[in-house]
Amino acid sequence: MPERPACESQMKNETSTGLLATLLLLYNGQVCLAAPLWSDFSGAYVAGRGFTLDPDQQRTVSLEYASGYTWGDTFTYLDTTFFRGDERAYSLFGETAARWSLMESDEDRPQKVLTDVLVSTSLEFGSGTVETFTLGPSVDLNLPAFDYLALGLMRRESLNRSGFNNSDGWQFVPTWSLTIPVGRSEWVIDGFAKWIFATDHSDYHPNFQFNPQIKYNIGKHLSGADRRVYLGVEYYYWSNKYGVKSSPAVDSDQHAVSFLAKYHF
């Protein structure tokens, strides 16, 4: 079972998590001194049930920031999840990532299937001993119907050697988005998958996450073509959650369905 910290240790962990998140944001600010070519900041509320190895019902407030530059792009998010019926009132988890392009600027990129090759890094952080660094190559693909499709192959390394984070290994991560116009507005289907297919420790098992969102933009019905206010559903499948092998004694295969509301500032 994953570590469940007591309240005192949880407060200490979350204090250090807050300091770490602040340092990461300051670091991204230093890295991205140049004005971004584009940026996006959004907030979301997700509430649902069907979670395993944690309370069945959860509510999450999520903040996301993405930006693009001539050298690549960045992405940072922070989830605050609130529980019912658990010794933890809430927990934090987030990730900050940057990708550096290895291709020179090319006006014909939009006409190619392979639009970019990049070096990707990320840092996972949050409550407990979850700090993990990833590094590896990624590619951006231009396929019909997709707004974007990125594939990443990453090496995972725990930063908590004295803790309970044994997720060292290799992961494959696709992210995607596609838009389907409907009348005055559109449906958006986006999300990610994470397949940790090779692990270094026998007590942490390979696992697979699949997290799509299906949402409709009601913003265009409210106040204009540029407003993005989404309502929809999120499905979160996670086999062998936390690397715990599912068995008749411990069901660690998650099938969670949640209501989603998201606003882009």
Residue 73's domain is classified under what CATH number? Answer: 2.40.230.20
Q: Per-residue pLDDT averaged across 73-102, rounded?
A: 91
Q: Is 1 a domain residue?
A: no
Average pLDDT, the chain: 86
Q: Is 18 a domain residue?
A: yes
Identity of residue 79: D
- Ramachandran class of 72: left when φ > 0, alpha when ψ lies in -120 to 50, beta otherwise: left
Of 83-87, 145-149, 217-221, the poorest mean pLDDT is in: 83-87
Q: Is 43 a domain residue?
A: yes
Looking at residue 8, what is its pLDDT? 40
Q: Identify the band that residue 127 occupies on the pLDDT scale cut at 50, 70 and 90.
A: confident
Does residue 260 surpass a pLDDT of 90?
A: yes
Strands 207-217 and 185-199, sheet pairing: antiparallel
Using alpha carbons, select from 179, 264, 188, 259 the residue that is nearest to residue 223. Answer: 264
Detail the DSSP E strand segments found in the chain: 38-49, 57-68, 72-83, 90-101, 114-126, 132-141, 146-158, 169-182, 185-199, 207-217, 229-239, 254-264
Q: Is 2 a domain residue?
A: no
Give tens-digit pLDDT for 189-200: 999 999 999 999
Work out the burial of residue 174: count CB atoms within 10 Å of its CB; fewer than 13 is exposed, 13-18 middle, 19 or more buried. middle
Tell me the percentage of the chain whose pLDDT exceeds 70.
83
Q: How many domains does the chain have?
A: 1
Residue-number span of the structural domain to which 106 is assigned: 7-264
Using alpha carbons, select from 139, 160, 168, 155 the residue that is nearest to residue 243. Answer: 168
Total length of the chain: 265
Radius of gyration of the chain (CA): 19
SS3 of residue 251 by DSSP: coil
Q: Identify the band that residue 39 occupies on the pLDDT scale cut at 50, 70 and 90.
A: very high
